[in-house]
Structure formats: structure tokens, C-alpha cells
Amino acid sequence: MVTQLQPANPYKLEITWEPLPAHYVLPDDPVENIQQPLLAAALTEALDSNERITPAMLLASNFGLVATVNQKTVVKAPDWLYVPQVKPVTAGVIRRSYTPNAEGGAVGIVMEFLSDEDGSEYSSRPIYPYGKLYFYEQILQVPTYVIFDPSTLLLEVRCLQAGGYVLQSPDPQGRFWIPELQLFLGIWYGLRVGVTTHWLRWWDAEGNLLLWGVEKAEQQAARAEQQAARAEQEAARAEAAEAELVRLRALLQNQPPP
């Protein structure tokens, strides 16, 4: 049996879990890429349309994750995140950030969609203000970290193993198993909200695509049309059979007696 020893971290991390102070001003940066909020909304909408979201969960886009490290408040806002279990907020209160352990359970998944910026999504900077990869890996210890580049279609999934991220390999269809949701994640090309591009999408364990609401509606409409067409065909066959029966009766009535 081989035991893998994690190298000692030369940087001391005193981590506490304190809700974001009321006076803390969150950055109001503009969206770096118009596709980023569309990608995030598509991921959430597919889960919602397939009844895979519960009130106890937190799914958000560009939403602040908070930790206090060495007495300094650190906030990172991934492009998409999933927390399986959070504490409910007081009625009328709007959640403006999330602090693991203080406000619920650990963060399960974070995603970053690359832009033309400085590549901070790969940053392992171990000192304040900390790189994103370092923050998710060493401070929040998020089990699954996804990076997607819409321009090059690079999709990377890292899973936390023995205290560090390990790059995962896709299946033969180019999809990645996401344990926290028990779903596959992959790239799909097509139309949504008037935009034809490459999207991130979910597939279940059997390989079935989780449909968006509009796709489900289209599928139901197509089924209704098929059922209506079958009903018309059955009615036409019944009408033809009835006409043939009438014709045969008329023939029998008009035949002379033997």
C-alpha cells in the first residue's frame, strides 16, 4: 500500500468562516464575455427543467464565495457554482454572497469560463489576494473545478484528490462525469435563445441529454402532433372500413334469391 504524502504548505493559512460584513463592497465588474451568463443560465435551466434542483441547493452565476484567510476577507465569484446544502435565509433577505460552513455546507462545483484576460482561472498564487485555482483548491477545497474556453472549446475538469486537483480524462463521447450531480458534462452545438454556438450541457448516467424547457415543449408538441396524426389515420381507416361494410351490405341486399 502506497501512501501519497502532500507536500507541506510553506504559507500559513488561518481560515475562518465568517459571513460577508454588511459594509463590504462587492466588485461590480462588467461581464467579460456576453456568452458567460448565457452558458451559466443554460446549465441551471436544464437542471431545473428536469427537477434536479431542490430548495436546499444554491446554484448561482458570478456570485461571491467568501472565506476569511489570515484575518482578511477573500471573495471570488465563479461564473457558475453549485452548493448541495445551504441554510435558508430570513424571509425578505436577499443572499448577496455565500460563506461555506457558516451558511451551509461545502461548495460542490465551481466553473470558470475563460475570456481574453490574464488567465487568472489557472492562478495558484498562494498569497493574498490568492489565485482562483489556489482559492478553490486549498482554501474552499471544492471537489470539482471546471474550466471552459468557449473560443477554443477547451473543457477541463479537475477533481480534488489527496488535497490537490487532478485533471480528469473524458469518456469516449468527450464528456466528464461530475460526481456531485451524478451527471455527465460535455459540449453541445446548437441553438438556444437565438444564439447558435457551443454550449455546456448535462447528460444522465444512461447518456440521455437533459433537455431545456423549450426543448421539452417542442418534444411534447411533436408527440401531440404525432398522436393527432395517428388518430386521424385511425379515424380514416375506421371510416373506410365502415364504408366498405355499407357497400357489402348493399350488394347482399341487391342479390336475387337462390
Number of domains in the chain: 2
In a domain, 180, yes or no: yes
The SS3 assignment for 41 reads helix
Residue among 221, 179, 181, 184 nearest 200 (CA): 184
Please report the pLDDT score of residue 2 as a whole number: 35
Over residues 104-121, the pLDDT tens digits come to 999 999 999 997 666 789
Q: Tell me the DSSP string of 198-248.
A: EEEEEE-TTS-B---HHHHHHHHHHHHHHHHHHHHHHHHHHHHHHHHHHHH
Q: Is the pLDDT of residue 220 over 80?
A: no
Mean pLDDT of all residues in 223-230: 69
> Quick one: 166 and 227 in the same domain?
no
In a domain, 9, yes or no: no
> Quick one: 110 and 146 in the same domain?
yes
In a domain, 3, yes or no: no
> Quick one: 75 and 128 in the same domain?
yes
In one letter, which amino acid is 31?
A: V
Q: Is the pLDDT of residue 124 over 50?
A: yes
147, 78 Cβ separation under 8 angstroms: no
pTM for the full predicted model? 0.83
Chain-wide mean pLDDT for the chain? 88
> Quick one: 117 and 158 in the same domain?
yes
> Quick one: 91 and 153 in the same domain?
yes
> Quick one: 107 and 178 in the same domain?
yes
Q: How many CA atoms lie within 13 A of 27 on its CB side?
A: 12
Q: Tell me the DSSP string of 56-98.
A: T-EEESS--EEEEETTEEEEE--SEEEES-BPPPPTTPPP--B
Q: Is the pLDDT of residue 255 over 70?
A: no
E strand residue ranges, 87-182:
109-113, 144-149, 154-161, 164-167, 176-178
45, 212 Cβ separation under 8 angstroms: yes
> Quick one: 258 and 182 in the same domain?
no
Task: Please report, for the domain that includes residue 150, its CATH number.
Answer: 3.90.1570
| Segments forming the whole domain that contains residue 247 | 212-258
